[in-house]
A and B are shown apart, each in its own frame.
Chain A
């Protein structure tokens, strides 16, 4: 029986009223206690904790393999998994696969679910990830978790759990089972995981790395993986931010503090603009200012202390998750610095696979004269920058790397051969629905919604198009040559994926 909307509203209200009343009552009685998301560090050292250089290297010692995974809800989780499965089909000498040789996986939002679980369970976790997360309706538990009397009390009234805890709880229940970054240290194998959230106040990326957590005098090893993934995917308004406490300054920090890799990016007062770091390298200067504020923490006598860092969906600052890998490739500010390793000649080959599940859904707003309402405006103001930030990013990345490497050669002709060899042995692959030649098929993939629940047919289509786009990328042949890999069987074709997305539309 169809229920009229008003009657439905009344029934829902009748169901929720006791919870709402109880919730407000408890809220009035309780104080303001918030969950403690991160713990202070007892010791700060690059020689302990979750660090790239402390993990067992992969077999391809002179080849750096980076995979980045964008945001986009379950669509992004599925596309990232599909591409990893495609890499798993590339067989290498010695019986290993390219998926086992991934050195770094950097991700945002929906892509972080797959990246996090891949770092946690490796290729053995592919089936569980697909079964327990990607093919499940994640919206029901998230909505029902809050839209019931107990949920209303728990998430809106009783101090402690916040709305983001719905997602944290769900991720723990389905995938991570309360594991922390310590589990990745214990696993002692790459890929090195970089989950990217965004500092909602500063609007800059916040990668969950120990070097970043050092600035807050906090221990990454004790942070639950589900919490970091949820921070990376905390879509504004719908979910609350993950708030980290800044324990800085603390006794564990060594002098000089802040460390030189932070203060190096600050201009001393009075620096002429022309000689300033901001003028020469605005990205370094902007991050330097924010990281210096993290490192100073609570400074007596100042009113701009950064005592807490509020983290939202990383897509606000970088929806592809490429910011931190690019920083590693072009500066000595990040840990690890791949630029240092390239300079040493340790890295001679580079495979960079950027998975972009960007949405380009048509909007009904464009078919109506009516002035968009507040919710429409709010969603547009959040979504537009996220989607725009990802368009053409792979091409920008290629241009940035080309430019950076060309300038290094210019500065030091002695490095010419090193960087020319690297350029000849670089495969930059961009997995993007935009690469689908058939416009109707492309439109249908773009129309798959950003949600934590996709239909079986939608998941089937995304799982097919991932390896199809990998295999059809012009740089895929370079990739195979660089790693000496062969396919165990042909990858699915884009045409097959298009047939599946047709089914999803029916």
Chain B
């Protein structure tokens, strides 16, 4: 049975966050919003004005994390990568 955690992106701030390479819809904004994700690995990313991924980080969630609120810092993608 999958479990869920909540995740808050604390860097970069005030950016739209995209999950698991779904760039069709922003999942919410950093750092205000929290994102519910299932156990396993989820990729968090931001895209710039040129539709390139400029910050990104994967987060591995194990069953021991169930029910927790985690925070994550995204790393810059150099050079930014087209989506």
Contact = CB atoms under 8 A, between A and B. Distances in A.
A66 B8 CA distance: 30
Given A332-B42, A340-B27, A343-B36, A404 B22 contact: no
A411 B6 contact: yes
Contacts of A332: 19-20, 22, 27, 37, 42
Nearest to A340: B27
A482 B67 CA distance: 30
A341 B5 contact: no
Nearest to A255: B81
A274 interface: yes
B56 to A, nearest CB: 8
B38 A331 contact: yes
Given A254-B82, A260-B43, A332-B19, A274 B66 contact: no
B3 interface: yes
Contact of A280 (B21, B40, B68): B40
Contact of B36 (A333, A400, A411): A411
Contacts of B79: none
Interface in A301-357: 330-333, 335-337, 339-341, 343-344
Interface residues of B, number: 40
A412 B27 CA distance: 16
Interface string B39-83: 111110000000000000010111110111100000000000111
B67 A330 contact: no
Contacts of A58: none
Interface string B1-31: 1111110000000000001111111111000
Given A260-B58, A343-B28, A408 B40 contact: no
A416 to B, nearest CB: 11
Contact of B2 (A46, A261, A330): A330
B36 A260 contact: no
Contact of B25 (A53, A274, A284): A53
A232 to B, nearest CB: 25
Contacts of A53: 24-25
Contacts of A281: 2, 38-40
Given A275-B62, A410-B67, A343 B38 contact: no
A407 B64 CA distance: 13
Contacts of B58: 260, 264
Q: Which among B20, B28, B33, B82 has the greatest number of chain A C-beta atoms within 10 A?
A: B20
Contact of A404 (B2, B6, B27, B34): B2
A279 interface: yes
Interface residues of A, number: 43
Contacts of A410: 4, 66-67
A47 interface: yes
A343 B27 contact: yes
Contacts of B61: 280
A330 B1 CA distance: 11
Nearest to A279: B63
B27 A411 contact: no
B68 A283 contact: no
A41 interface: no
A182 interface: no
Nearest to A254: B82
B22 A408 contact: no
Nearest to B67: A410
Interface of B: 1-6, 19-28, 33-43, 58, 60-64, 66-69, 81-83
Given A53-B24, A412-B34, 17 more contacts: A46-B24, A259-B21, A261-B43, A280-B40, A331-B38, A332-B27, A336-B24, A337-B22, A340-B25, A343-B33, A344-B25, A344-B27, A408-B6, A411-B4, A411-B6, A412-B69, A415-B36
12 contacts: A255-B81, A261-B21, A264-B40, A264-B41, A280-B63, A330-B2, A331-B2, A335-B24, A337-B19, A344-B28, A400-B1, A415-B34
Interface of A: 46-47, 51, 53, 254-255, 259-261, 263-265, 274-275, 277, 279-281, 283-285, 330-333, 335-337, 339-341, 343-344, 400, 403-404, 407-408, 410-412, 414-415
Question: What 3 pairs across the A-B complex have the smallest Cβ distances?
Answer: A412-B6, A280-B39, A264-B41
